[in-house]
Amino acid sequence: MENKLIVLLVIVLGAIAIAQLVRVYEISSKLRKNQEHEISNRDNNLNGRMMFGFMFLLFGFFIYLMSAYGWTGRGSAASDEGVEMDWLLNLNFVIIISVFFFTNFLLFFFTWRYVRKPGVPAFYYPHNNKLEMLWTVVPAIVLAVIIILGLQTWGHLTGESKPEAVKIELFSKQFDWTARYSGADNTLGLYDYKLTLDNNELALLTSNTIDSSLNNMLNGATGIHSLQKLLNNRDTVLSDSTVAVLRTDLSRKERLYRFLTQMKQNHNKKLDASAWDDIIQKDTLYLCKGQQYEIALRAKDVIHSAYFPHFRAQMNAVPGMATRMKFTPNKTTAEMREEKNDATFNYILMCNKICGGAHYKMKMVVVVLDKPAYNRWMAGKKSQTFKDQYFPVAAAPATPAPADTTAVTMN
Amino acid sequence: MASHDAHAHGHHEDHHHHEEHFVSKYIFSQDHKMIGKQFLMTAVFMGLVAMMLSILFRIQLAWPGESSDFLSFFLGEKWAPNGVLKEDMYLGLVTIHGTIMVFFLLTGGLSGTFSNILIPLQLGARDMASGFMNMLSYWLFALSSIIMLVSLFVESGPAMAGWTIYPPLSALPQAVSGSGLGMTLWLFSMAIFIASSLLGSLNYIVTIINLRTQGMTMTRMPLTIWAFFVTAILGVLSFPVLLSAALLLIMDRLMGTSFYLSDIIVGGEMLTNHGGSPILYQHLFWFLGHPEVYIVLLPALGLSSEIIATNARKPIFGYKAMIGSILAIGFLSFIVWGHHMFVTGMNPFLGSVFVFTTLLIAIPSAVKVFNYLTTLWKGSLVLTPAMLFAIGLVSTFITGGVTGIILADSALDIMMHDTYFVVAHFHIVMGMSAVFGMFGGVYHWFPKMFGRMMNTRLGYAHFWITIVGAYGVFFPMHFVGLAGAPRRYYDYSAYSEFDKGSFELMVDLNEVITVFAIIAALGQVLFLFNFFYSIFRGPAAPQNPWKSNTLEWTTPVERIHGNWHGALPVVHRWPYDYSKPGASEDFIPQTTPLEAGEEEH
């Protein structure tokens, strides 16, 4: 009801608006004696002045936005790499804001200053090679500076990380993140997406996980055997389309089974250890201040992008392709909270590549601790390696939570 | 010339001997002027649809989660239950808004309209090289527009993977509902659109090379034609690559190939695709995607060059340098696509190369800006609505261009990539500059298209609302982006959990942006009214309303098939002899022979 009323109102108002427009149109046409192509001096001067006035409005708007939001929104960089990037960004901003003011000023000033004046002809000035050379060479020099500085920083940001950098993997899927710490050996265990099972969500590669995947593919609830049984069962009648679907599914699983068999044959058992000591961490990513991190990225389904706005770090996670990045947090969460005067502030890892409906909710809280607090947290994780999770001890005390919360509150 | 004359003769007789049917005149027309107008009408309609879509999702961004009758009215219970937009549909709206604006309004609408109308008229040709191909080009464009619009109404929703439709999201219906039938329609629509664009572009190139009238050398062509020429070449070289990208995606979706898919588990299903690369798609897409930016922008720059020179009553400053920069921009646009992919995991060294080539584009762009400024300097400016839009274009080209320097710098792009800073940047360049060029073109050449004048006062009102509204929309977006807000987010509530300051900033600015967007959108009513009303009721246009030099103003006001009665005009000089010392008038049409002792520029 309310809806219809509003629609009705819009239609009525629209009709009135159009009627008014027609009147304005007719009256202004008459005033100009139908000479729409002759712009009167009055209109010309008025628009010239308005253009110049608009410039002040534009500049004022920019200065207001810059002072109100320009620096606060971004916050200071919280990583060594971010500090270098911010320096470069500020330098670039100085250059482009100067260009913005200078050229826009000339544009609007000329528009106002050189508006037609009766009796003053335009100055016939078709070209001047010196001037054109000037504004080819000057931008070229400025750009050369920008390019050289930019590529230097780019080299620092994308170069190899230090040997002592800690390796962490960020695993992404619709719509959450999982972190995997490389454990005591600082080596991430290998993985293969075909090993994904409920008790091995990150598809880590060990002799045991291969076996259970093979077993699941063969004997699982929708495994090869049960599909074959279903297709060969003479007591049930299946529609042609169902049979087609089942057959496709069966052949897909048989192919996967062959791949898994090959994997088992080629597998080197010595590699198991590097996977067993990995630590899988959900919800919150804990990092240590001053420690460089070498981050490996993985995606399970579609492209995601690991975006740490405060560390100024970003890299896509692409299915079927390994990507990496590195950064060194240089402020603990507590220090940043103090700086921002916000007791609830947290660092964040967000998804920044469109990945589906809940894309905007895909995030992970990041906590940066100082070295002692981080070590305490890590000590609590020592007994929660992938191996511990994969072979749960029947009587294991269910106390993973306290270690996490104490670490946060200790800040 | 003999063939020209015979051709002219033939047309002349046609004109006298039979009246054209409604169908052949208005629907399946092969006349370039009518086809241009068909492109314009279709593009205006598509642009309106895309603008409405943007208002719908802007409401969600400004007042997230609040019930809106406006949303439920347009989207119904399915996509906006209780007046709150669904997450999936938000992505659908964003995707179709972008697709329509970039391809249907700014490629089909801008280059399709003005290339068709102006190329033969400004070159002194009877029509395009192939009228039939030209007609086919329009009707394929119409068909692809219809398919794109239909995709908005399918049950599983329109394409939802963003206008760049990166796989695997666009390849897997399990990943998002829009990747079902909606995505299939999107791909077919675009495949047809590309065919249309290619037919058009080939026609433009052939016409410009072969059908210039006597005396119209390449260096006497107006800058509009140079811009259309380079645009058409860019289109011919880059659109086929997009077609191949789309075809491979169609095969991945429908035939089980693995061009873009590898090692994927989606919706609990383990796919066997292996060895493909989603990054391959991005390379193919942006090989078109970046030239596409200049396919959108060059025609706007060409139109504004002509409008600025005419209304400044001055020759365009540095004509040869302007041609040089169009060519340089055109060439460089092919070797910069990687700057869209700095954070995809591309080899950093390759990234460095793209940083270098991309920043080089700033040089010809700067040359163009300074040449415009010098053209205005000591001019005698007549501020018609078209001129205001052209000057507005220069302003937005600067404002949007300088932020490109930040984004082209890979080290800075890491933190800016896919944030609202990018959205602000390309909307100021494409949503303002290119659209201003289009508006300027419509106001300037309306008398040529319809034989009537548009209302100047309404034109002024339209310009002022548009520039204030559009700057009001896209300026604050930079600051939303600087605060780190990712684009394509349904809302920013996540920020309230970890950074209250940024959250408040985003809420505040998003409201400001939406209010300006609504104002700017309402301002377009003035344009629509002025446009359609003037077609029927506008005062009759004089022969040469803007006292311009180019050939289109020597054609009769009533639009005839074949453009000129009798022989084709002969060109004696360049198109920019405005306010030449010693001349009696402040303009000398291109058809005026050089006087004894007069030097060509």
Mention every residue, 6+ apart, whose C-beta is less than 8 A from residue B376: A107, A110, A111, A114, B308, B312, B314, B391
Q: Which of B372, B489, B539 is nearest residue A360 as measured by Cβ atoms?
A: B489
**B402 pLDDT higher than 60:** yes
> What is the rounded distance in angstroms from the CA atom of residue B558 to the CA atom of residue B564?
10
Residue B392, Cβ density class (10 Å: 0-12 exposed, 13-18 middle, ≥19 buried) = buried
Most B CBs within 10 A among A149, A301, A342, hence the mutation to make, goes to A301
**B451 pLDDT higher than 70:** yes
Query: Closest chain B residue to A157 measured between Cα atoms?
Result: B411
Terminal-residue alpha carbon distance, chain B: 27
> What is the rounded distance in angstroms from the CA atom of residue B380 to the CA atom of residue A119?
10
Tell me the three state secondary structure of residue B587: strand
Residues of chain B above pLDDT 70, percent: 97
Residue recorded with tokens 């642009």 = B47
Assess if residue B6 is contained within a domain: no
CATH number at residue B496: 1.20.210.10
Assess if residue B597 is contained within a domain: no
Return the pLDDT at A383.
Answer: 87
Does B378 contact A28 at a Cβ distance shorter than 8 Å?
no
Tell me the three state secondary structure of residue B265: strand
> What is the rounded distance in angstroms from the CA atom of residue B116 to the CA atom of residue B39?
9
Does A154 contact B355 at a Cβ distance shorter than 8 Å?
yes
Q: B100 to chain A nearest CA, in Å?
A: 19
Model confidence pLDDT, tens digit, residues B363-374? 999 999 999 999
Does A150 contact B468 at a Cβ distance shorter than 8 Å?
no
Chain mean pLDDT for chain B: 92
Contacts 24+ apart (CB under 8 A), B556-560: B557/B447, B557/B451, B558/B451, B559/B33, B559/B451, B560/B15
> What is the rounded distance in angstroms from the CA atom of residue B481 to the CA atom of residue B406?
13
Assess if residue B585 is contained within a domain: no
Does A69 contact B318 at a Cβ distance shorter than 8 Å?
no
Amino acid at A329: P
Q: Which of residues 365-404 of B touch A (CB under 8 A)?
A: 366-367, 369-374, 376-384, 388, 391, 394-395, 398-399, 402-403
Amino acid at B217: T
Q: B201 to chain A nearest CA, in Å?
A: 31
Which helix (H) or strand (E) is B391 found in, with range? Answer: helix B385-408
Q: A328 to chain B nearest CA, in Å?
A: 15
Does A88 contact B412 at a Cβ distance shorter than 8 Å?
yes
| B585 part of contact set with chain A, CB < 8 Å | no
Cis peptide before B168 (omega within 30 of 0): yes
Does A320 contact B274 at a Cβ distance shorter than 8 Å?
yes
Query: Closest chain B residue to A82 measured between Cα atoms?
Result: B415
> What is the rounded distance in angstroms from the CA atom of residue B285 to the CA atom of residue B278?
11
**B13 pLDDT higher than 80:** no
Name the superfamily (CATH) of residues A278-393+402-409. Answer: Cupredoxins -  blue copper proteins (2.60.40.420)
Tell me the three state secondary structure of residue B333: helix
A 10 A CB-CB count for B401 gives 24
Does B169 contact A303 at a Cβ distance shorter than 8 Å?
yes
Average pLDDT over residues B585-595: 91
Model confidence pLDDT, tens digit, residues B175-202? 999 999 999 999 999 999 999 999 999 9
Q: Which residues lie across from A313 on neighbouring strands?
A: A308
Assess if residue B102 is contained within a domain: yes
Radius of gyration of chain B (CA): 24
Which of these, B563, B567, B586, lies nearest to B576 by C-alpha position? B586
Q: How far is CA A41 from CA A47, A272, A291, B381, B544, in A?
A: 10, 85, 69, 11, 20
| A223 part of contact set with chain B, CB < 8 Å | no
| A337 part of contact set with chain B, CB < 8 Å | no
Q: How far is CA B135 from CA A367, B22, B203, B449, in A?
A: 62, 15, 11, 17
Task: List the structure tokens of B142.
Answer: 């119409």
Assess if residue B105 is contained within a domain: yes
Residues of chain A with CATH 2.60.40.420: 278-393+402-409
Q: A397 to chain B nearest CA, in Å?
A: 31
| B21 part of contact set with chain A, CB < 8 Å | no
What range does the domain containing B327 cover? 37-263+272-554
Helices B87-99 and B32-62, packing angle to 10 deg: 150
Helix segments in B409-489, DSSP class H: 410-416, 420-426, 435-450, 456-482
Return the pLDDT at B7.
Answer: 46
Model confidence pLDDT, tens digit, residues B130-171? 999 999 999 999 999 999 999 999 999 999 999 999 999 999
Return the pLDDT at B14.
Answer: 46
Task: List the structure tokens of B601.
Answer: 């520029």
Does A85 contact B476 at a Cβ distance shorter than 8 Å?
no
Helix segments in B211-318, DSSP class H: 223-254, 278-312
Confidence bin at B560 (pLDDT 50/70/90): confident
Does B366 contact A34 at a Cβ distance shorter than 8 Å?
no
Q: Which stretches of chain A drop beneath a pLDDT of 70?
A: 1-4, 29, 32-34, 72, 394-411
Q: Which of B162, B395, B460 is nearest residue A47 as measured by Cβ atoms?
A: B460
Tell me which chain A residues have a C-beta less than 8 angstroms from the C-beta of B318.
Answer: 126-128, 132
pLDDT higher at B316 or A402: B316
Judge whether B50 and B109 are in contact, CB under 8 Å. Answer: no
Which of these, B63, B50, B56, lies nearest to B510 by C-alpha position? B63
Number of domains in chain B: 1
Q: What is the 3-state secondary structure (H, E, C) of chain A?
A: CHHHHHHHHHHHHHHHHHHHHHHHHHHHHHHCCCCCCCCCHHHHHHHHHHHHHHHHHHHHHHHHHHHHHHCCCCCCCCEHHHHHHHHHHHHHHHHHHHHHHHHHHHHHHHHHHCECCCCCCCCCCCCCHHHHHHHHHHHHHHHHHHHHHHHHHHHHHHCCCCCCCEEEEEEEECCEEEEEECCCCCCCCCECHHHCECCECCCECCHHHHHHHHHHHHHCCCCHHHHHHHHHCCCCCCCHHHHHHHHHHHHHHHHHHHHHHHHHHHCCHHHHHHHHCCEEECCEEEEECCCCEEEEEEECCCCEEEEECCCCEEEEEECCECEEEEECECCCHHHHHHHHCCCCCCEEEEECCCCCCCHHHCEEEEEEECHHHHHHHHHHHCCCEHHHHHCCCCCCCCCCHHHHHHHHHCC
Mention every residue, 6+ apart, whose C-beta is less than 8 A from residue A376: A406, A407, A410
A 10 A CB-CB count for B108 gives 27
pTM above 0.80, yes or no: yes
Query: Which one-letter DSSP state was computed for residue B270?
Result: E
The torsion defined by the Cα of B136, B137, B140 and B144, in degrees rounded to 10, comes to -170
Assess if residue B580 is contained within a domain: no
> What is the rounded distance in angstroms from the CA atom of residue A39 to the CA atom of residue B546?
10
HSE value, Cβ hemisphere, 13 Å, CA-based, for B356: 9
| A116 part of contact set with chain B, CB < 8 Å | yes
Q: How many residues does chain A have?
A: 411
Cβ-Cβ contacts under 8 Å between A and B: the total is 419
Does B482 contact A73 at a Cβ distance shorter than 8 Å?
yes
Does A43 contact B489 at a Cβ distance shorter than 8 Å?
no
Q: Which of residues 127-146 of A touch B (CB under 8 A)?
A: 127-128, 131-132, 135-136, 139-140, 143, 146
Does A36 contact B360 at a Cβ distance shorter than 8 Å?
no
Which helix (H) or strand (E) is B269 found in, with range? Answer: strand B269-270
Tell me which chain B residues have a C-beta less than 8 angstroms from the C-beta of A18.
Answer: 529
Tell me which chain B residues have a C-beta less than 8 angstroms from the C-beta of A65.
Answer: 475-476, 478-479
The torsion defined by the Cα of A123, A125, A126 and A130, in degrees rounded to 10, comes to -160
Among B77-81, B157-161, B419-423, B472-476, name the one with the lowest average pLDDT: B77-81
Mention every residue, 6+ apart, whose C-beta is less than 8 A from residue B101: B47, B50, B430, B431
Average pLDDT over residues B516-539: 92
pLDDT higher at A7 or B276: B276
Does B395 contact A104 at a Cβ distance shorter than 8 Å?
yes
Does B415 contact A50 at a Cβ distance shorter than 8 Å?
no
Model confidence pLDDT, tens digit, residues B239-259? 999 999 999 999 999 998 999
Assess if residue B567 is contained within a domain: no
Does B542 contact A132 at a Cβ distance shorter than 8 Å?
no
Tell me which chain B residues have a C-beta less than 8 angstroms from the C-beta of A100.
Answer: 398-399, 402
Task: List the structure tokens of B320.
Answer: 């040869």
Residues of chain B above pLDDT 90, percent: 83
Q: Which residues lie across from B22 on neighbouring strands?
A: none
Tell me the three state secondary structure of residue B127: coil
Tell me which chain B residues have a C-beta less than 8 angstroms from the C-beta of A367.
Answer: none
